[in-house]
Chain A
Amino acid sequence: MNYAEILLIPFIPLAVFLVLGIFYNRIKPAVSGIIGVLGLLISTLLSIKVAYQYFFVLGKDGGAYQAIVHKTAWMNFTETLRIDMGVLLDPISIMMLLVVSIVSLMVHIYSRGYMKGDPGYTKFFAFLSLFTFSMYGLVLATNLFQIYIFWELVGVSSYLLIGFYYTKPSAVAAAKKAFIVTRFADLGFLIGILIIGFYTGTYDFELLNDPQGSPLLSWAASSFFGMSVLSWGLLLIFLGGAGKSAMFPLHIWLPDAMEGPTPVSALIHAATMVVAGVYLVARLFPMYYFVEDGIILQVVAFVGAFSALFAAIIAITQNDIKRVLAYSTMSQLAYMMLALGVSGYDGEAGLGYMASMFHLFTHAMFKALLFLCAGSVIHAVHSNYLKDMGGLRKHMPITHITFLIAALAIAGIPPLAGFWSKDEILAAVYEKDMLLYTIALLVAGLTAFYMFRIYFGIFWKKDPEYATTPHESPATMTIPLIILAIFSALAGFVPFGQYISADRIALDVHINVPLAITAVLMGIAGIGLAWLFYKKETDLPDRLAASLGKLYTWSYHKFYIDEVYLFVTRKVLFKRVAEPAAKFDRQVVDGTMVGIGNSTVRTSEKIKAMQSGKVQDYAMAFVAGVLVIVIFFVYYLTQ
């Protein structure tokens, strides 16, 4: 496999970023869009070529796909502990390469239409390229430190893109919120990395994930507050992943991040960056599994199940379509976490791992599609709110059909992509734990319900009073929709288990018919309810909301999690901790410093007389100096 070609994949977007960033003012918007799309097209083609070579030309060795690592030492700490820079090719990293490439390419093409006429057009493409570069780097990382570096870069580019409309205060606030919340989680990640580096002596994924890695397991024995130190490290790393993948209670940034341009939401906050947390756990999956019999995986599973249900309940009551999609994303990411959490390692037991990655793949396609459709709708009606929409199926046929395909896919209706991957997840959870399975099944039903709630709300119902008649988006926007719709429809037929499994040995996947039928019925029930409630304007929803009482209000206000955070930061941290600290800093620390400064100046003033300007005085001082030194040394030190 050609190493240079692999390196080109991330470096082309970087080059595009540099060119667009440096010649920001001199490039015409039209040209910058083309540069961005062309650069990514090359990266995408290279990714496909690499994937083809890896899976079909090199193929399996000894029944399993082998990881290919190219790396150079970047920083040596000790004999064994060092930071490398390089690329790691294995099934999941290649799968992610494809996901990032395809979605990013679609978003690039789409943005040429969506961002047309925006004053920051070139800047937008520069940031998109920066993000894509960072994401490629994250995916290809060979060790914990490298992934951390790109992890932060991804965070920065996400920050830049959420705050893209920086004149809008809400966008700035959202960007800050996203950055700070994920930064907070990343602090845990960093500490986890340091713990693992300290106790295992390596950051390298291949070494950490070696199931026979005896030195690791021996360290796992040393315990700290009831768990081994490695488990603590893994828990902290999961904290980082939970921040990026918006798991409860670190999810609060994701809905607000919808302030960014919609293509950004599709790329970053649906398909790529937010799955980084899932990818991180999958990357270290063998380690999670083998350290202390997967104690942390149980945490992952429960956090996943809870977040999935939590987000789905909130999604039902939101009126901003992008926010509904954001909560839906959170819920689906939690689904993937849940699948990882219940997975085993060998053979059939590893179904959850495979299902999680499968769902990551299919979800990226249909969720990106949903966001891009939403963007197309917003583009047409200039509003994010359901109340401003309705009857759009007549005005926007392509958007309507593609949205429907995506919605059916996420609802898990066969034969669309979501059905296959969701079925595997449900099967894996069913094997492990009935409670989790029940939650997962309920979430499947809720997903279908809220998704068709907005579907009917946007495309059916009767028209509100449109100021100008909405019309279909231009071809640059609809073509990516169509391509992604094809992927959403067909991605489920990829024999995923053949390529990706926890132990990298092919896994024969078959449909568990009773489970599949239950799940599909659940989905259809959700769709049916939505049809009943929202197909036409009725008072049913309001009556239902009234009968649910508190639950509805709580869900509508997102269970007041933001308010809890605000209370803790404003009332507790700012009032009780920060203010006294600031006072101490101003009065005691600053006071001391200013005092020292003033006394220095005063001393300087006092000794001014020493410099009299008379040579006689100088000579006196000279001789006196010599004498003092002589007396001091000859008669004291030598005694």
Chain B
Amino acid sequence: MTWSNFLILRHEVVLLLIILAILVAEIAIPSKKKESIIHLGIFLFGIHTIIGFLPMEENQIFGGTFHTNGLIHLVKNILNIGVLILLLQSAEWIRARLITEQKASEFFILLFASLIGMYFMISSGDFLMFYLGLELSTLPVAALASYEITKRASSEAGIKLILSSALASGISLFGISMIYASSGSIYFAELVNLVGSNHLLLMGIILFFSGLAFKISLVPFHFWTADVYEGAPISIASYLSVISKGSAVFILTILLFTVLKSLIDVWENVIYALAVATMFIGNLFALRQKNMKRFLAFSSIAQAGFILLGIISGTSMGMATVVYFILIYIFSNLAAFGVVQAISNQTGKENMTDYEGLYRTNPNLSLVMMLALFSLAGIPPVAGFFGKFFLFTAAASKGFFWLVFLAVVNVTISLYYYLLVIRAMFLRTSETPIPFFRSKLYMRLGLAITIAGIVVLGIYSPVYDYIYELSMNLMN
């Protein structure tokens, strides 16, 4: 392993160093000045995000266990941007935890550890590395979900997450063992040529697949989502719905498109069924939600159903649309969670009825929320429209017209409940509206980045072209 080979681990190594730095800071900084750890964490991660954009060569190390290419590199950067926005939006909440629970560095260490797990997961070249990455990305989040130990709901969320994810990884691991049993290899590069249509392998794929479906919260593996999102701190719910889901979707797409490409006739049926179930169940549940976090949880389940439309095509265009959608989804969903976070920090209110009349007292926050929901609902000209439009185009280009039709029906349903929130904010009046407040600098910065993303991605087309080019390189 030469130095230049080692450099493809740059993301992982830098983030590991940041974790170490925070550990040292935790020891070195006196307890009165612990607040500076928040600034340090955000600052270091900001640097990490920026240097992440330095070009990286396509290569593999550890005998093909770990590899990287243009698209993987891009996805890591997208995840970084998402986490950075999340950190900015969470700063105020972490500060509050510092006062009540006397801890701040844990948040960064656990979160970054989980992110490293995701890096490894999406860079993995075999099932072993993949599994390790998957676990590393999940376990710290379970701890984070129960971060607010004084709150019962938070602990419950942590327990539910760890139990569910243990089951999911067990089944997934069982599936991997079946794949190994029927093909004799765990290396993706070799598996490409080994997979053939036999029952054991099919079963293995389905079991393995359900593990990832759990992370993406596809129906019927989604039950944990709403309970965990509701109980966990908003930052963690947001992390689960955006970063965790994004990386899992990406690796699923890669595996289906490259390793299991020859079995497309099989898995496209699985995806078809799951897409329909996920869109309908997610939307129908979202329709009734009164709590904003639960509402966003089901909305994110439905969004995952839409993503499957890009995956089902199995083409490089499908790959590009999935990555593009993830990018847009990160901005849109983080904007929505950011507003919920800001209001929750200030007032502790999380219900939709609390948002009535918000436009009168906090017009800016309402407008951010409106843009975010428009983007999630897919209303032109904001980015979300193009994301969905491209996904549907990808599915339609392979002849899945019924699926696209069902998806459009679901977009209509989703429009209804997204507009419910907008109606509450803009058209309803309240006796006791949330009073005007000014968010902290970090929060405003975080929201500003998301809004810029939503608007710019809707107008600036070269981003998609770039992603498409990378996907073409990967698929051919």
Contacts and interface: CB of A to CB of B under 8 A. Distances in A.
Partners in one complex: yes
Interface of A: 597, 600-601, 603-605, 607-608, 610-611, 613, 615, 617-619, 621-626, 629-630, 632-634, 637-638
A625 B221 contact: yes
B413 interface: yes
B160 interface: yes
Nearest to B416: A597
A597 B416 CA distance: 10
B163 A619 contact: yes
Given A626-B207, A629-B270, A618 B199 contact: no
B163 A615 contact: yes
17 contacts: A600-B413, A601-B287, A603-B284, A605-B288, A610-B223, A611-B226, A613-B227, A618-B164, A618-B223, A618-B224, A621-B223, A625-B210, A626-B210, A630-B202, A634-B203, A638-B197, A638-B266
Interface on chain A toward B: helix, strand, loop, or mixed SS? helix
A20 to B, nearest CB: 29
Contacts of B220: 621-622, 624-625
B151 to A, nearest CB: 16
A608 B160 contact: no
Contacts of B223: 610-611, 617-618, 621-622
A626 B281 contact: no
B206 A630 contact: yes
B267 to A, nearest CB: 9
Contacts, number: 81
Nearest to B227: A613
B285 A604 contact: yes
B168 interface: yes
Contacts of A619: 163-164, 167
A602 to B, nearest CB: 10
Contacts of A624: 220
B202 A622 contact: no
Contacts of B221: 622, 625
B288 A608 contact: yes
Contacts of B199: 634, 638
Interface in B193-221: 197, 199, 202-203, 206-207, 210, 214, 219-221
A604 B284 contact: yes
A544 B144 CA distance: 101
A614 to B, nearest CB: 9
Contacts of B448: none
B273 interface: yes
Counting from the closest, the 9 A-B pairs by CB-CB distance are: A625-B220, A618-B223, A604-B284, A604-B287, A626-B210, A621-B220, A615-B163, A634-B199, A604-B288
Interface string B252-287: 000000000000001001100100000001001101
B171 interface: yes
- The winner among A605, A615, A634, A637 for most chain B CB atoms within 10 A is A615
Interface on chain B toward A: helix, strand, loop, or mixed SS? helix
Nearest to B200: A634
A633 B266 contact: yes
A637 B207 CA distance: 17
Contacts of A637: 266, 269
Contacts of A638: 197, 199, 202, 266
Contacts of A632: 273
B217 to A, nearest CB: 11
Contacts of B210: 622, 625-626, 629
A607 B284 CA distance: 8
A607 to B, nearest CB: 6
Interface string B357-380: 000000000000000000000000
A623 B163 CA distance: 14
A607 B226 CA distance: 15
A624 B171 CA distance: 12
A615 B214 CA distance: 14
Nearest to B267: A633
A78 to B, nearest CB: 22
Contact of A629 (B160, B206, B413): B206
A633 B207 contact: no
B400 to A, nearest CB: 17
Given A611-B223, A629-B270, A622 B207 contact: no
B284 A600 contact: yes
Contact of A626 (B206, B219, B269): B206
Nearest to A612: B223
A623 B171 CA distance: 9
Contacts of A625: 210, 219-221
A633 B287 contact: no
A607 B219 CA distance: 13
A626 B171 CA distance: 9
A607 B285 contact: yes
B311 to A, nearest CB: 16
Contacts of A611: 223, 226-227, 285
